[in-house]
Structure 1
Amino acid sequence: MSNTKHTFLQIHQRDNVLVALDDLAKGTTIDFNGAQFNLQTDVPSKHKFTISALRTGEEIFMYGVLVGVAAQDIEQGSMITVDNVHHAADDFKLGERKTEWHKPDVTNFANRSFLGYHRADGSVGTANYWIVVPLVFCENRNVDVLKEALIGKLGFKKAKTYENEVDELISLYKNGKSVEEILNVELQQSSVVASNKVFENVDGIKFLNHDMGCGGTRMDSDALCGLIAGYITHPNVGGATILSLGCQHAQVSILENEIKKRDPNFNKPLVVLEQQKIGTESRLLQMALKQTFAGLIDINRNERRPAPISKLCIGLECGGSDGFSGISANPALGYLSDVLVALGGSVILAEFPELCGVEQEMSDRCVDENTALRFMQLMRDYNARAEADGSGFYANPSPGNIRDGLITDAIKSAGAAKKGGTSPVTDVLDYPEKVTKTGLNLLCTPGSDVESTTAEVASGANIVLFTTGLGTPTGNPVTPVIKLSTNTSLYNRMPDIIDINCGTIIEGQETIQQAGERILNYVIDVASGVVQPKSVLLGQDDFIPWKRGVSL
């Protein structure tokens, strides 16, 4: 059996494995670089197979970097798996600066703008939200009470509910239908509920519950205050209501200091209420309602106005990755990142466990040695903490990643890093620091989707681009999260959560550059409020602060 179409790909000329672009059956003849060999095993789409036979201990390369070693002898034309390959990555050290890069042609975007909310600190928001945040988990119930009181009455209720479906199930039960009949019935889907907003220029009130603020380490409660300060000072946030119990580790004074770090001239409406000082729950909640309502009147005066796209700060994220992530959606984001950097904008590449194996490249791209040294130290410290907890970076790939071809952390990382493009690294930030420099910023976060997205937004991302090969509904309370599929099958299977299909690259319908420009045009529409991505329409308001050392 011979292959009659381009069904595999060598990503880098140094690579000694090929990526299957389609399901390949055992016995398929592979014609590569003038030589032919037969596959010894079935190779599902997205998985990799050897170009030549490998002996135990021999190194395996993808994307031009070390990604593993053979755990046993592997025949030519065999699929690599978690059984025959172990994770491996090159060590890294301080090297020469490699900051030269080929800037892309930005002619199509040089004079583009978006309609955003201009803030006093010079930043521009792609949305205008009020946030309600507890400083400690003890206040979560009070936050929930405020949410129940405000959302519906102010016209911010999620557009689609499933209440009609529940009514139908109740009716079936009361009419004596059996369990089997109920399970087999086709429920009538609820219609979209029209929203009558009281404040036209406010995109919503968001309630950021969490389980932190006390009882954990002081480092985590201090970081929580920094994270919340990042949301309060965020360009997509017009104002905030903060509920404090009073006795917790995460004190109001710490929060106020963190706000000043990020915006010394902070002047947004801010309501801070401490329950132990105020007294009864009723008094606390009535004060919160009145002062929040007054703040909404204030921020409703802000209207969208034109801003250059250099005011965009793009968070780059991937989750539910697959074997196509590093050759379709991630490189497309890399091209977009380079375009935005060339135009004076900012991008954030996070998820440090998913930079394992490309440390040398990323550190060499840092603009100066101090920046490179900080990146390397953060990587080493993070991996050491993870190993102390019994799980180093090598344990990062999830079962879904492995099932779809990402069998080692280095393979996953080499593809994930493609989101950062080729521009120099202008700054390295530790969680939850704020972006202050244009260009490519590296932010230390876990690889966990929601924790990393939560952190990128706190650092200033006013749009997040999120690639996925398996499908994930992840969103954020204040920043639009645009979901991009790495393959067309996913795009067709989960159209309710995916915004953009990058499977067109795999299928040869468009180039990485063409996809990147298509995505950027969509980003501009979202930033202007013309289009709402699926995560916003679904009300996918995921918010999880990071507990250091716990998550990969």
Structure 2
Amino acid sequence: MARYLKLTDADNIVVAVEPLAVGDTAENAQAGKRIPRGHKMAIAAIAKDAPIIKYGQVIGFARDAIIPGEWVHEHNVYLHDFDRDYQYGVDARPTDYIEPENRQTFQGYKRASGKYGTRNYIAVLTSVNCSASASRFIAEQVTRSGILDDYPNIDGVISLVHGTGCGLDVDGEAYELLKRTQWGFATNPNVGGVLMVGLGCEAFQIPRWMDFYGIKEEATFRTLTIQAAGGTRRTVEQGVEAIRDMLPIVNRVGRSTAPASELMLALQCGGSDGYSGITANPALGIAVDRLVAEGGTAILSETPEIYGAEHLLMRRAVDKGVGEQLAERIRWWEQYTAKHDMEMNNNPSPGNKMGGLTTILEKSLGAAAKGGSTNLAGVFNYADAVTQKGLVFMDTPGYDPVSATGQIAGGANVLCFTTGRGSAFGCKPTPSIKLASNAYLFEQMTEDMDINCGDILEGVSLQQKGDEIFARILEVASGARTKSEALGYGDSEFVPWSIGATM
């Protein structure tokens, strides 16, 4: 195993693969103090205010002069605004699609819409937090009854509750976001039946939501309100009965062969470290390139966590319009954070910094690697239905549960989540495959991690690991359980983006 990595010829730092002791040498620079694993050491003199280069890109600026062999981290690095070269589409290339007869398949659930699910859940959705407990009671009672044993094609009954639905402007942005998110989950191909439970007097009225989307009550879509049902106990009784009626209908759908082009892969990273942008993220990017070549879709998100790398994505935009859409989203976030007395560099988190990441630019350059090298085919607002094949971007916060909720509302039927520190996450109804960026994490949290990407540091090629990830995506899409599913994650990770004033 290499003791350190220099990622490009232009870099003036190296990354310590293993801790570098005082006196250890890297690129003719001698460590002046211990450099923790995953952290950076200067290999050239960096003048005060001069750029620090990693991945061949600016990740920050020297607070004071930095000498070769010095530890480079937040104590001597700062960030200021600087112009990034926005060129739209200059690196876009024709996609090299795999011939149809050579494309991969998975075993999925075909829906009436023509889409394929990778799971078959009945979801209990809530219009408002006031109906959250009743919804959980309904799902728990059905699950405890043991009746699901009689319906092997159903993966479970899940309650997807949230903390909003009232105290909001019914004509405002918060309402629109919740409306789109609820619709997206109700129509996600991993959901075979829906029960929507409300209180009755909330701002987010179920009939209004149904009218907007043209939804009608039917065998696999039912609604209840606590006030009309006569209280909590009667709501639970009626909800359980409604689901019992759905079970045989939802169970009729079995798995059948589907092309990999029917997969919509959500891309997430959380608890990143200094290895994430070197191992797990670029390996996932290779799997994304393969999925796109198969005719499938991948959703890159977390706008605050591509900040500083957005210019590289814009260069891959299929046209100027797509590039400008991404630029507009970046400007919105700059205004949004300034309005709330925040800054885009409030990220990385303390855990990210302990793992070796210093600035948002460094984190973003590594995070964007999840998107591979394929063209950027489209940009979507939060929870919008993703209607474009290929690599697309969805505007979401960097907070993982909120971001993944938007992607699933957009139609994602499988998800890959990279981590270097050890995020605990799952997101029903969509299975989440956890990718560890380093072997230590994989061994430390073996019951949570699905794939070890740390062996890339020991000689496994990025291409080999990307192939392994893609194969695992097909297996999970066909029904293989992920570690987070085995642990029971997913019911509490439905977190719609709450934006604007709570009234």
Task: Determine if the TM-score, normalized by the shorter chain, exceeds 0.5.
Answer: yes
Partner of 1:24: 20
Q: How many residues in Structure 1 have an aligned counterpart in Structure 2?
A: 497
Picking from 258, 273, 277, the partner of 2:228 is 277
Distance 1:241 1:267, change over 3 A: closer
Contact 2:120/2:153 (<8 A) preserved: yes
1:188-220 per-position Cα deviation (integer Å, ceiling 9, x unaligned)? xxxxxxxxx121110000101111101145422
Residue 311 (structure 1) shift = 0.6
Paired position in structure 1 for 2:72: 80
Cα 1:102–1:407 shift into 2, 3 Å: farther
Q: Map Cα deviations across residues 354-401 of structure 1 (whole Å, 9 max, x no partner).
A: 111112111222212222111111111122212221222101111110
| Residue number in structure 2 paired with 1:513 | 463
- Residue 165 (structure 2) aligns with: 213
CA separation in 2, counterparts of 1:7 and 1:469? 18
Q: What is the one-letter code of the residue matched to 2:119?
A: A
Query: In the alignment, what sits opposite 1:302?
Result: 253
- Give the 3 Å change call, closer, same or farther, for CA 519–268 of structure 1 in structure 2: farther
User: Does the 8 Å contact 1:99/1:423 carry over to 2?
Assistant: no
Question: Cα distance, 1:269 vs. partner?
Answer: 1.6
Partner of 2:484: 535
Q: Compared with structure 1, are the counterparts of its residues 292 and 494 closer, same or farther at alpha carbon in structure 2 (3 Å cutoff)?
A: same
Deviations 1:37-70 (A, max 9, x none): 3112211111111121112111111112211001
- Partner of residue 362 from structure 1, selected from 313, 319, 323: 313
Q: Distance in 2 between matches of 1:145 and 1:66?
A: 52
| Structure 2 residue 11 is matched with structure 1 residue 15 | yes
Q: How does 1:47-58 map to 2 (within 5 A)?
A: 47-58=39-50
Give the deviation of 1:101 after TM superposition: 3.8
* CA drift at 1:305: 0.2
1:316 to 267, 291, 297: 267
Deviation at 1:415, TM superposition (A): 0.2
Alignment of 1:365-404 (within 5 A): 365-404=316-355
- The answer to whether the 8 Å contact 1:89/1:410 transfers is no
What is the CA-CA distance between 1:28 and the residue it aligns to?
1.1
Aligned residue for 1:499?
Answer: 450
**Residue 537 of structure 1, CA deviation:** 0.7
Corresponding residue SS for 1:376: helix
Q: How far 1:310 sits from its partner (Å)?
A: 0.8
* Aligned counterparts of 2:323 and 2:378: Cα–Cα separation in 1: 9
Look up the equivalent residue of 1:292 and give its one-letter code. I
Q: Secondary structure at the match of 2:135?
A: helix
The alignment status of 1:148 with 2:97, answered yes or no, reads: no
* TM-score, length-scaled by structure 1: 0.86
1:132 aligns with 2:84: no
SS in 2 for 1:315: strand
**Aligned twin of 1:444:** 395
1:453 aligns with 2:404: yes
Contact 1:118 1:305 in 2 (8 A): yes
Q: Is the 8 A contact 1:445 1:452 kept in 2?
A: yes
Q: Which runs of 4+ in 1 moved over 6 A?
A: 264-268
- Cα distance, 1:280 vs structure 2: 3.7
Task: Structure 2: give runs of 5+ residues left out of the alignment.
Answer: none
Q: How far, CA to CA, are the matches of 2:222 and 2:251 in structure 1?
A: 16
| Structure-2 change in CA distance of 1:275 and 1:266 (3 Å) | closer
Q: Could you say if the C-alpha distance between residues 339 and 358 of structure 1 is closer, same or farther in structure 2, counting changes exceeding 3 Å? A: same
Distance (Å, rounded) in 1 between the aligned partners of 2:232 and 2:297: 43
Match among 109, 126, 131 for residue 117 of structure 1: 109
Q: Contact conserved, 2:181 with 2:383, CA < 8 A, in 1? A: yes
**Partner residue, 1:331:** 282
1: CA distance, partners of 2:446 / 2:29: 39
Contact kept, 8 Å, 1:246 with 1:275, in 2: the verdict is yes
Q: Give per-residue Cα distances to partners, 1:64-85, cap 9 Å, x unaligned.
A: 2211001111111111111100
TM alignment of 1:171-320, pairs within 5 A: 197-217=149-169, 218-256=172-210, 259=213, 269-320=220-271
Q: What is the RMSD of the two structures over their aligned residues, measured on CA atoms?
A: 2.2
**Contact 1:103–1:339, Cα closer than 8 Å, also in 2:** no
Indicate whether 1:44 and 2:29 are aligned: no
The whole-number CA distance in structure 2 between the counterparts of 1:232 and 1:154 is 24
Q: Is the 8 A contact 1:132 1:240 kept in 2?
A: yes
Q: Secondary structure at the match of 2:403?
A: helix
Cα distance in 2 for residues equivalent to 1:265 and 1:99: 46
Name the larger-Rg structure.
1
Deviations 1:455-475 (A, max 9, x none): 211111111000011111200
Q: Which residue of 2 aligns with 1:176?
A: none
The letter for the 1-side match of 2:296 is G
TM-score by length of 2: 0.94
Q: What residue is the counterpart of 2:303 in the other structure? A: 352
1:343 aligned to 294, 301, 314, which one?
A: 294
Letter in 1 for 2:12: N
Instruction: Work out the percentage of aligned pairs sharing the same amino acid.
Output: 35
1:100 correspondence with 2:92: yes
CA-to-aligned-CA distance 1:270-295 (integer Å, 9 cap, x gap): 11123333434444333222222111
